[in-house]
Structure 1
Amino acid sequence: MGKNMIVYRNFRQAVPLKECTGRIKSLLSRIDGMSSSCYQNAVSLLMECGELETGVTDFLCPEKDEIFSTKIESCRELSMLAGLIVCRLWINEAIDLESLNEARRLLFKIESWKIKEILLSVPEGFVYYGLYPETYIEAARQFKEQMSPESVLVIGLRSIGTTLSALVSAQLKLLGCKVKPFTLRPRGHPFSRGIQIDSAAEEFLRRAGSCSVVVVDEGPGLSGSSLTGTLEKLSGLGFGEERTVVFPSWIPDGSRFLNESARELWPRYRKFTGEFDNLWVDSGRLASGFGMEIAQNLSAGMWRPHFIEDASFPAVHPHHERRKFLLKSDSKKCFLAKFVGLGRYGEYLVQRARRLAEGGFGPQVKELSNGFLLMKVIDGKPMSIPVPGDDFLGRAAQYCAFIRNKFPSKLTVTLDSMQEMIIGNVRAGVGEKWGRNAEAACGVSPDIYESEPVAVDGRMMPHEWIRTNGGYFKVDHLEHHCDQFFHGSQNIVWDIAGLCIEFRLSSGEVEELIKRYVELSGDKDIRMRLPFFRIAYLAFRIGYVSLAADSLSGDQDGRRFELLRDFYREELKKSLMAY
């Protein structure tokens, strides 16, 4: 059921080329030693160069890929130089000043190009899923040690494979391999992707049969077709399985891939990966960056028994949980280290966290370290339903008014897309006959939907609110307006609707919440917007919990998501009856 609903958001943004090169120039000026901050700047540099290369290559190759464009090769060289800097700093080697100067020279050339804008998407692994590029340095080391290649074609699959393949190429070059790196974009339906290349690239690959080939990507995903579609293309060009290897982010057995060809091809190829735990946790490197002892791993829902006393745990999908660690300082104070993203993506969320802490709504913020935000653990108890009283409703109204006032944003989902999600998810999750009601409910004017978008909280569940002796605080409050899921930035009514639904507020409590919010914000149109956003929120949530229930079928969290699906279905019916 869940796979037929709209849950994720495919968001690509047009960015001026000068903005991209400006970020790279700034980072180059901040790489000047071997400190922890210098290394983090180097990783940011690698990410920015990879994004630039991806955007330029997509701009120049809209329908099929070429690998001998001088512009593409310049971008590839810049990405590799960034990769060399990261590789050297990772093993505490001094920075090669010649590499920095060459990067500046290339950047100066790229700035002169007559390309106004490029399309960029978020590198999801680095931002959402805690994918660390150093695991690919380790994969390259293992590959060199075990297979002793001399000449290697390194193929990165765009988007994030661009960055990862630049790093792999740099490491193999440092290990003495002759490397030819380039990138390809798998094209076609998400469950059946393939490779399209020009005749010059095909001819080159047909003549490169003596080389080893490394295919680099963060996958495999649900279908496995991006990686295996590339392997299929290479096989057709004469590259045998014995010399073709894959550097993925993880190694499933492939039996559950949605693409039949992927299920058949995947087991036949050799794969190399590095492990985050080995490289960062077991080595002590992560704790050293924190300056505190790692007391407990709280990832994948393991935070629940630590913070929630009874067994009525909220449902979580382990694959959608950010990495988290409980830390203890010398003064015995407890901190939470939560992965918020590498590069500028993590830095953006740190600024949000600080503003929410200064406003008195979130935990105190210590620092950002290697993609993890360190926050003081709040001494209190997660809330549950029923609501304890009007004092909480007043606090929730203050929080929503604060978000509306302090975090204006741009709408990231069009009205047409929102209507498509609502109607499709209602039909799939509630029943075909309810589709007409959903269509009627979607008949709102753009003014109602597009008014005052903000970077919403997006997670107004009871257990995300902490009750303390000093009042109520909000946690898990940073990234849900800019994560991989559908809704993005919305009018603040998205959060108000979510709060009403998740806390099962009565009509009287809803009215009290709205009254207090209007008094604080002056937003008198909320009652007009609430019915539509309530349905939109429920439609998104039934899509998400259906997807989660299907993928976790048979375990406790799968059952918890099934119960939530039943709840959202009934709430949707109640709301849609008015139409």
Structure 2
Amino acid sequence: MWAYGDQAREASLASLLEELREAGDVLASAEPGLPWHSACVALFLRLAELLQALADAERDARGEDDLSPGQEMLMRGLIATAGAIDRSWRSGLAEQVPPTLAWLGLLGGGEDRALTVRRCEGWAFYAVYPELYLEAARALPEGAIVIGLRSIGAGLAALAASASRARAVVTVRPVGEPFDRRIVAGPGLERLVAGNLERDFVIVDEGPGLSGSSFGGTADWLERLGVPGERIHFMPSHDGDLGPQARDDHRAGWHARPRAVARFEDVLLVPGAPAPLARWFEDLTGPARAPLRDLSGGLWRSLSPSPGAPADPGREARKYLLETEQGRFLLKFVGLDSAGRDKLARARSLFEAGFSPEPLALRHGFLIERWMDGTSLEGSPPNLADYLAFRAQAFPAGKAGADLARLAGMARYNLGQSVGGAGERLLAPWTPERLEALQGAVRPVHVDGRLHAWEWIVVDGRVLKTDAVDHSVAHDLVGCQDIAWDVAGAAVELDLAPPALEALAAPLLGDRRALLDLLLPCYLAFQIGWWSYAGEAGARQQARYIRAAEKLMER
């Protein structure tokens, strides 16, 4: 099923260097403690973005990954910044000396060029923290050759190299089919490997995912160049097995080779950590009365007025309940990258407009808001139309996510896979010409994207929308869309009768009503695809959306 999509932005080298200088200025003026530490991590992420973008551009130009002076310069800067993060963390946020950025002028001295920056899922969605890789790297052998797999591996490799005193560190991008990745390397990289066969090699990435073929394919490449299998180490973001699509030889290698991994719980949650998560907001909430309560992976349902709501444990953001003398608070991971600040701004706007709980702060990737005890909502939210009208006006987006042609292509595929040819025929009226003409009517906004009935609660007579800031920039192909996407979502999730749907759509869409006709089947198809990855609970949800698609086909 088709549900995921990569997120990328085009930028010039000059603009990326300016973003780096701005991040350096923020670090220089940051208050000591967690603000400084978080600003240093933000600078590190900007450096990692530039290295990824430059390495990809050079790879595209050559047709293979290889060494270059620009990549080497950026990697040195990343390792120095990783060292600053490490010293800050290990000292309990006391030893905070910024890395120098004087060398940036050398990198920008040549001709400007267009680059593609790819958003890294680990930083943005899955709480892959630099501190985890720094801690895990202490178990690596000194003097190793570290190989980071792009995109996120460019930065992760620098963290590993800094904490383990690596001999050399490089970055490559595995290519090929998703479940059969391989490395295409130039002569400089291959000479580096061949000249260090007596050393250990460390492959660094997030994951593994469904197949682990990026790790496996890179190990295959090293073995072809003569590296003994026992000298190859893996450095992933979790300690689980490879997914169901893994090759048998890759799975065997995964279990046979040493792995260095540090768990979030053991680095950021334990009371003895240099700066545990439970203390990040003490100035706002007072000290915790008890350990943080994990609400991730569907555990939130134990406190929800809708305890039977379906959950998607493997893809939920980390979230915790903090209890202090001042009350209860929800801590939710919203991303280490720059999108986190925008999410806080949206959360504040929604609170001030009376639609959502009160957010208090964003610190080092976690958003804190007051915990709201409420009851479940019966029927459709009475403020639904006002809520969607507010989002349409308050949260314009610079550009849309998937365009209409891509959404229609996803819908044809997912409906064809789930309900057969009849489902594909729902999209038959939407020819390429018609989609192109309708694209001009799209007004992209940061949609809610999560209008399910269990996301609404009643608190002291007010209807509040929870989980309302993330989903327009989530790890999927949808992204920012016209508010018609949320109208379609409301129709499906709240089971709106035709008159109620028309009453909702008319003032929001006006003469753009055709968007809803297209996006209804697209929304259903996306949900069918999304829940196909969520196990038993996902199968039940998928069946519900398939029934809704079949009902739509009968009209």
TM over 0.5: yes
Deviations 1:372-403 (A, max 9, x none): 1001122322325x43xxxx34x100011011
C-alpha distance in structure 2 between counterparts of 1:184 and 1:528, whole Å? 45
Match of 1:158, as an amino acid? R
- Asked if residue 539 in structure 1 is aligned to residue 528 in structure 2, the reply is no
How does 1:275-290 map onto structure 2 within 5 Å? 275-283=263-271, 285-290=276-281
Contact 1:219 1:227 in 2 (8 A): no
Contact 2:124/2:336 (CA < 8 Å) preserved in 1? Answer: yes
Q: Secondary structure at the match of 1:13?
A: strand
1:416 Cα deviation after fit: 2.3
Does residue 319 in structure 1 map to residue 314 in structure 2? yes
Q: Structure 2 residue aligned with 1:21, among 6, 12, 17?
A: 17
Q: Aligned partner of 1:140: which letter? A: A
Q: How does the TM-score come out when normalised to structure 2?
A: 0.92
CA distance in 2, matches of 1:226, 1:437: 37
Shift of 1:269: 1.0
* Contact in 2 for aligned 1:437/1:577 (Cα 8 Å): no
Structure 2 CA distance for partners of 1:432 and 1:547, relative to 1, 3 Å: farther
Match of 2:438 in 1: 448
Q: 1:330 matched to which residue of 2?
A: 325
SS in 2 for 1:201: helix
SS of the residue 1:113 aligns to: coil
| Cα distance in 1 between the residues matched to 2:292 and 2:258 | 36
> What pairs with 1:214-293 in structure 2 (closer than 5 Å)?
214-254=202-242, 256-283=244-271, 285-291=276-282, 292-293=287-288
Q: Is the 8 A contact 1:43 1:343 kept in 2?
A: no
Correspondence for 1:134: 131
Paired position in structure 2 for 1:299: 296
In 2, distance between residues paired with 1:223 and 1:533?
32
Q: For the Cα contact (< 8 Å) 1:340–1:349, is it kept in 2?
A: yes
For these two proteins, the number of residue pairs brought into alignment is 538
Amino acid at match of 1:539: A
Query: Which is worse superposed, 187-196 or 361-370?
Result: 361-370
Secondary structure of 2:473's aligned partner: coil
Change in CA separation of 1:396 and 1:255 when aligned onto 2, cut-off 3 Å: closer
Q: Is the 8 A contact 1:449 1:491 kept in 2?
A: no
Deviation at 1:255, TM superposition (A): 6.9
* CA deviations over 1:480-521 (Å, ceiling 9, x no partner): 111111211111011011111111111232233335xx1xx5
Aligned residue number for residue 369 of structure 2 = 375
Q: 2 CA distance for matches of 1:150 and 1:512?
A: 67
Worse-superposed segment, 242-251 or 562-571 = 562-571
Task: Give yes or no for contact 2:65–2:189 (8 Å, CA) kept in 1.
Answer: yes
DSSP 3-state at the match of 2:513: helix
Report the 3-state secondary structure (helix = DSSP H, G, I; strand = E; otherwise coil) of the residue aligned with 1:188. coil
Q: Map 1:357-506 to 2 at 5 A.
A: 357-384=351-378, 386-387=379-380, 392-393=381-382, 395-409=383-397, 410-441=399-430, 444-450=434-440, 451-506=442-497
Partner Cα separation in structure 2 for residue 434 and residue 503 of structure 1: 22
| Deviation (angstroms), 1:449 | 3.9
Tell me if structure 2 keeps the 8 A contact 1:130–1:339: yes
Per-residue CA deviations over 1:401-449 (Å, capped at 9, x if unaligned) read 0111011111121222112101101100111343233223566443434
Q: Distance in 2 between matches of 1:95 and 1:568?
A: 52
Q: Verify the 8 A CA contact 1:383 1:464 in the aligned structure 2.
A: no
Partner Cα distance (1:437, 1:398) in 2: 30
Over 3 Å counting, the alpha-carbon distance change for 1:546 and 1:203 in structure 2 is: same
**Whole-Å separation in 2 of the counterparts to 1:278 and 1:295:** 13
Q: Which 10-residue stretch deviates more, 473-482 or 347-356? A: 347-356
The residue identity in structure 2 corresponding to 1:406 is A
Shift of 1:473: 1.1
Gaps of 5+ in 2: none
Following superposition, the deviation at residue 29 of structure 1 comes to 2.3
The answer as to 2:118 corresponding to 1:121 is yes
Shift of 1:57: 0.7
* C-alpha deviation, 1:353, in angstroms: 1.1
Task: Give the CA deviation at 1:10.
Answer: 2.0
Aligned with 2:170 (options 182, 186, 211): 182
Q: Does 1:356 align with 2:350?
A: yes
In 1, are the aligned partners of 2:312 and 2:538 still within 8 Å (CA)? no
Gaps of 5+ in 1: 144-148, 553-557
Query: What RMSD, in angstroms, separates the aligned Cα atoms of the two structures?
Result: 1.9
Cα shift at 1:308: 2.3
CA contact (8 A) 2:319 2:331 kept: yes
Cα displacement (A) at 1:190: 0.7
Distance 1:299 1:221 in 2: 19
**TM norm structure 1:** 0.89
**In 1: Cα distance, 2:515 partner to 2:551 partner:** 17
1:34 shift after superposition: 4.1
Q: Secondary structure at the match of 1:251?
A: coil
Which residue pairs with 1:568 in the alignment? 545
* Residue 158 (structure 1) aligns with: 150
SS in 2 for 1:22: helix
Whole-Å Cα distance in 1 between the matches of residues 247 and 261 of structure 2? 23
Tell me the distance in 2 between the aligned counterparts of 1:359 and 1:8: 32
- Residue type of the partner of 2:146? V
Alpha-carbon deviation of 1:535?
Answer: 0.9
